[in-house]
Amino acid sequence: MIEATELIKRYGETTAVDRLSFTVRPGVVTGFLGPNGAGKTTTLRMVLGLNRPTGGTVTVDGQPFGDRPRGLRHVGALLDAHDVHGGRTARAHLTALAVGNGLPRRRVAEVLAEVGMADAAGRRIGGFSLGMKQRLGIAAALLGDPPVLLFDEPLNGLDPEGVRWVRNLFGRLAGEGRTVLVSSHLMREMEQTAEELIVIGRGRLIAAESLRDFAARGRELRVSVRTPDADALSGVLARQGAVVRAEPGGTYTVTGLPADRIGELAFAHGVRLHELSPHSGSLEEAFMELTADSVEYAAGVGR
């Protein structure tokens, strides 16, 4: 289990992680989702003790990870698939890691087989595609057979078959009772990967819930309305906190209220409706809607 409590990381004026609290449970794959620059990598690095928090704490199974001897047996991580020595072979790279961490050498062949790279063991990493480097990074994370696994954008650069393979692997690792945290900036990558979600924006927690609950937010995101009494309807809906936007062709798009509530309000105020149709949004839309503020902020502050 991973527990972050009021975690803060500042770089000068930039607050990369802002009072972030969350729990990652074992037995399910948890997606760690946020737009670019949301603070995902910084958070993962703090979990691993590679970055020191400015404030707050993060523990792995009740202890700061940096306090653990022989860390690879406790937490395996893929942070940056490019962060490998291109002149080495896959086997040499993993052997160096195994030896350096007091792990048996036989694990090297085991994890290479596990990620489908047994045939590429003797090839130099410099010639690997990004997908192969991702597989190698995953192999390194598995080397210590750890109960906790962190993967930063592991689906990047994988072809559809690679994505399917990774999803199956993560599902199996979680099924074995491990804690599996997988970051991404793309909701669609998480759709068939994660069961639980932690969504952050601007370093802050936006949502921590099951994918199923998150998906429910996508329902009735927008409602299309046609009415000859547009001004009256806009006034009524705005007072209820909804946003009404005029579309070309005389239709209005309402966000912030479900269709049945709009119909009732219109009826109560004598507003005539010629059309009232809810549109369910995709998971991606729910994600965009929720993180819109943090994206605007990130774009507006000259990053």
Give helix then strand counts, H and E, for the chain: 10, 13
Query: DSSP per residue over 124-137, as a string?
Result: BGGG--HHHHHHHH
For ligand ATP, which is the closer residue by CB, 78 or 254?
A: 78
Is residue 34 part of the contact set for ligand ATP (CB under 6 A)?
yes
267 binds ligand ATP (CB under 6 A): no
Which two three-digit tokens encode residue 150? Answer: 């962190």
Build a one-symbol-per-residue string for 2-21: x at contacts with ligand ATP by CB under 6 A, - elsewhere: ---------x--x-x-----
Q: Nearest to residue 78, comparing CAs of 32, 121, 122?
A: 32
Q: How far is the CB of 206 from ligand ATP (least distance, A)?
A: 12
Torsion over CA: 203, 206, 209, 210 (sign): negative
Binding characters for ligand ATP, 152-181, by CB under 6 A (x = yes): ------------------------------
Q: Tell me how crowded residue 66 is: count the other CB atoms within 10 A of its CB.
A: 13
Interface pick for ligand ATP out of 2, 29, 42, 197 (rule CB under 6 A): 42
Q: In what order do the strands lie in the sheet with 252-255?
A: 243-246, 252-255, 222-226, 275-279
- Pairing assessment for the beta strands 29-33 and 196-201 based on DSSP bridges: parallel
Q: Of the candidates 4, 33, 41, 143, which one interacts with ligand ATP according to CB under 6 A?
A: 41
Closest CB to ligand ATP among 205 and 276? 205
Which of 31, 39, 53, 146: binder of ligand ATP (CB under 6 A)? 39
Among 2, 24, 28, 38, binds ligand ATP (CB under 6 A): 38
Q: Which is nearer to ligand ATP, 177 or 302 (CB)?
A: 302
Give Cα 79 distance to the centre of its chain. 14
Token pair in block for residue 251: 């239709």
- Assess 36 for contact with ligand ATP (CB under 6 A): yes
| CB of 151 vs ligand ATP, minimal distance in Å | 13
Nearer of residues 41 and 193 to ligand ATP, judged by Cβ: 41
Q: How many CA atoms lie within 13 A of 172 on its CB side?
A: 9
- 151: which residues sit within 8 A by CB, 6+ positions away? 77, 78, 138, 141, 170, 180, 181, 182, 183
Q: With binding defined as CB under 6 A, does residue 117 bind ligand ATP?
A: no
Kind and range of the H or E run holding 177 = none
Nearer to ligand ATP, 36 or 168 (CB): 36
Given the complex with ligand ATP, which of 108 and 155 has the nearer CB atom? 155
Does position 40 interact with ligand ATP (CB under 6 A)? The reply is: yes
Residues that bind ligand ATP (CB under 6 A): 11, 14, 16, 34, 36-42, 185, 303
